[in-house]
Structure 1
């Protein structure tokens, strides 16, 4: 009797436990086990799905390695050198420190793959610099810091793209390379927006750095700037798999911080490792819950039901992509990235494939959409992080963030309907047909 209602009850338990404050990973595990019991299935299937999903896929191992590399860079003074390099390059442009913020996020994204790491690390320093002595309004400083961090998971490497590759059986290397042009486009447009805002609002230009200082600044920045070259060059030359490249980048960051800059002693290294383990545990818990939950969804043929629903609507490719973008923009206001990626996205992948949409392009569109959700109230997690780290009131940031949200949504439409922006580089590299 209960078997017929197992799926609705599971969803109700998931929603109820989440609202009650249970972490999403645990809520998915609990609700899925309730389903197995009510459906009369072997509860041991839960453990089997976790073991097969987590330990049977080496791509998943890249996630903790990227987390470890990002934490090392934040703790090992590597970000300070990148900040000085960016200041020398673009500090003289209108809205100089805001431009530095954008460029630093692009450079840092080539190492961390995480928007949260960007905001929590170099973003904190930049926001303090911008607000010092009232040079920039606090709300604008917080808003541009959050917005520029969005590029982190678009430019390779990218933790969300690793997750997408797991659920879609697409190439991590192709996804990484496909994010390069969209990331550069995002940074360019944000820079133009800042130039206009600086001229309208009278934002300051930074003092010129003497030419004689440039060689030393560039020389000090070269070792960390080499990390994306190591990571991407290793992948696309065939020397590394994406997981091996993540390990190489973490090891390289460790060498720089411990031996190159002597900025990471035994105690600090222990703290960085502990922090990385805690973050990885949270991510892995969500991943485990998603593997069990997605097994249930597959058994209940939910993706097929979603496909049939869209098939009956007889939507064009354009209408489908618009609908997906709208849905994700709404979900991004309330749900975290891992939940949307691991629970919601698998439902739409079969329909996207059936409509002839390249799944690599679809993945980059989805990841970018979810990054916009990180700065969209009421759940804009990056805004909450900036508030916690820099003490900027949420209200001030929310008043400033809408301009950037509008710009990013416009760019999302461009990336959605000009797929070559995402596919040209992977095709040129021979990673996709």
Structure 2
């Protein structure tokens, strides 16, 4: 490791350690490397522009963010929630089951765990804690755990970013996330049923079955969004980026014309908030583009690949080691940083070991999402604490059970790649 690269890493960890936003930390650390290496600092701007101009797929990120914010702003979330209450609210741990099913459905529109937790999650936490039916910590914990499904079932912003660094098919990644997302939902519902039975949480008054068609009809247009997305991509009608634009436009039509729940002032606030969120992601992407150039210049991926080949590592052991590392990093870093900065180091080794990159990508994204609820720094825990005021200690005490079953689901995906790759192969994926 050169002195310049060591200085870059020290600067990065120092800045991140004192609370500097990770995107700015990466950019400043990269500038330190360029300066010490005698390279033109303007090279940083050049690499950012080259990376952005060559990556048309990155346009999908702000478009999916807009779609998620529109879904949260209108009455779409409430209609979806009413449908879920009618469908599964009658079972043991009813509102907990509603929480998970709502996340499964809403994930097909937002692609963002934070949007899921801060939007529909806040509404259902209020429902669960009303009249003391569930403890505050339990309601917040299952909301945070179910929100991790958001970026697994398409659309998925982290999978778009993974496709950028691995040159994998976005369509294949989207399809590969469907079954793992459903598995995550099933294990969370099973744990919720067990805990609700053990603690004697009250049953909800069931919604009459004759009202289910009405709730289904109200939610049906919103339920169509993931179908439209996947048909557009795999039917050859749209590129993934164009599909993101269709998703945003469809959400706008639903909220403004069909449900009549969005004003011009509300739309303006959505665009402003979406611009801020997109800019935050963009800063991290820009920093990652420079840092990836530095990593390639130092031949770090090549050295890692040679070391792995020399050790004759079995693919399963390699996947286990990478997943442990990503899980630990997920406690302190957000998914965007892990995918853009850390994951590219392992892509060459995956190719050498014959690991399918779509399978690897789903494992990385699932693992990064689990990191969002891993104490002490899980970002989703802080998001729910901020939007509900529920003390962080109460959330952390309750989240461990859900964290355990999600890790078990991750191991199932790791040891059974056909679970991940079955749907993409059904649609012609050859990996």
1:372 aligns to what? 370
State the 1:17 CA deviation.
1.5
Give me the whole-angstrom Cα distance separating, in 2, the residues matched to 1:15 and 1:200. 44
> Any idea what the Cα deviations from partners look like across 1:277-334, whole Å, max 9, x if unmatched?
0000000010000000100000110111222232333321121111111111111111
2:286 alignment partner, one of 285, 288, 304: 288
Give me the whole-angstrom Cα distance separating, in 2, the residues matched to 1:248 and 1:170. 22
The answer on whether the counterparts of 2:87 and 2:212 sit within 8 Å (CA) in structure 1 is no
2:322 aligns to what? 324
2:117 aligns to what? 119
**2:252 aligned with 1:254:** yes
Aligned length in residues? 431
The answer on whether the counterparts of 2:111 and 2:153 sit within 8 Å (CA) in structure 1 is yes
State the 1:203 CA deviation.
1.4
1:40 alignment partner, one of 29, 32, 38: 38
3-state secondary structure, aligned to 1:204: coil
1:299 aligns to what? 297
2:381 aligns to what? 383
Give me the whole-angstrom Cα distance separating, in 2, the residues matched to 1:21 and 1:214. 49
1:194 aligns to what? 192
State the 1:4 CA deviation.
4.4
3-state secondary structure, aligned to 2:260: coil
Give me the whole-angstrom Cα distance separating, in 2, the residues matched to 1:347 and 1:42. 25
Give me the whole-angstrom Cα distance separating, in 2, the residues matched to 1:243 and 1:206. 42
2:205 alignment partner, one of 204, 207, 219: 207
3-state secondary structure, aligned to 2:224: helix
1:103 alignment partner, one of 85, 101, 126: 101
Give me the whole-angstrom Cα distance separating, in 1, the residues matched to 2:313 and 2:298. 24
Give me the whole-angstrom Cα distance separating, in 2, the residues matched to 1:324 and 1:218. 42
2:71 aligns to what? 73
Give me the whole-angstrom Cα distance separating, in 1, the residues matched to 2:213 and 2:354. 50
3-state secondary structure, aligned to 1:209: coil
| Unpaired segments ≥5 residues, structure 1 | none
2:138 aligns to what? 140
Moved more, 38-47 or 110-119: 38-47
State the 1:43 CA deviation.
2.4
2:9 aligns to what? 11
| Unpaired segments ≥5 residues, structure 2 | none
The answer on whether the counterparts of 2:154 and 2:174 sit within 8 Å (CA) in structure 1 is yes
1:87 aligns to what? 85
> Any idea what the Cα deviations from partners look like across 1:80-103, whole Å, max 9, x if unmatched?
000000000000111000000000
Give me the whole-angstrom Cα distance separating, in 2, the residues matched to 1:217 and 1:409. 34
The answer on whether the counterparts of 2:34 and 2:40 sit within 8 Å (CA) in structure 1 is yes
1:52 alignment partner, one of 46, 50, 53: 50
Give me the whole-angstrom Cα distance separating, in 2, the residues matched to 1:287 and 1:215. 44
2:220 aligns to what? 222
State the 1:21 CA deviation.
2.2
RMSD, aligned α-carbons: 1.2
State the 1:431 CA deviation.
2.7
3-state secondary structure, aligned to 2:119: helix
Give me the whole-angstrom Cα distance separating, in 1, the residues matched to 2:2 and 2:174. 42
2:233 alignment partner, one of 235, 240, 246: 235
Give me the whole-angstrom Cα distance separating, in 2, the residues matched to 1:5 and 1:188. 49
The answer on whether the counterparts of 1:174 and 1:432 sit within 8 Å (CA) in structure 2 is no
Q: Which 4+ residue blocks in structure 1 deviate beyond 3 angstroms?
A: none
2:360 aligns to what? 362
Normalised TM-score (structure 2): 0.98
Give me the whole-angstrom Cα distance separating, in 1, the residues matched to 2:55 and 2:39. 25
Moved more, 167-176 or 400-409: 400-409
Give me the whole-angstrom Cα distance separating, in 2, the residues matched to 1:315 and 1:280. 39
Normalised TM-score (structure 1): 0.98
**2:282 aligned with 1:273:** no
Give me the whole-angstrom Cα distance separating, in 1, the residues matched to 2:6 and 2:187. 45
Give me the whole-angstrom Cα distance separating, in 2, the residues matched to 1:212 and 1:359. 46
The answer on whether the counterparts of 1:173 and 1:431 sit within 8 Å (CA) in structure 2 is no
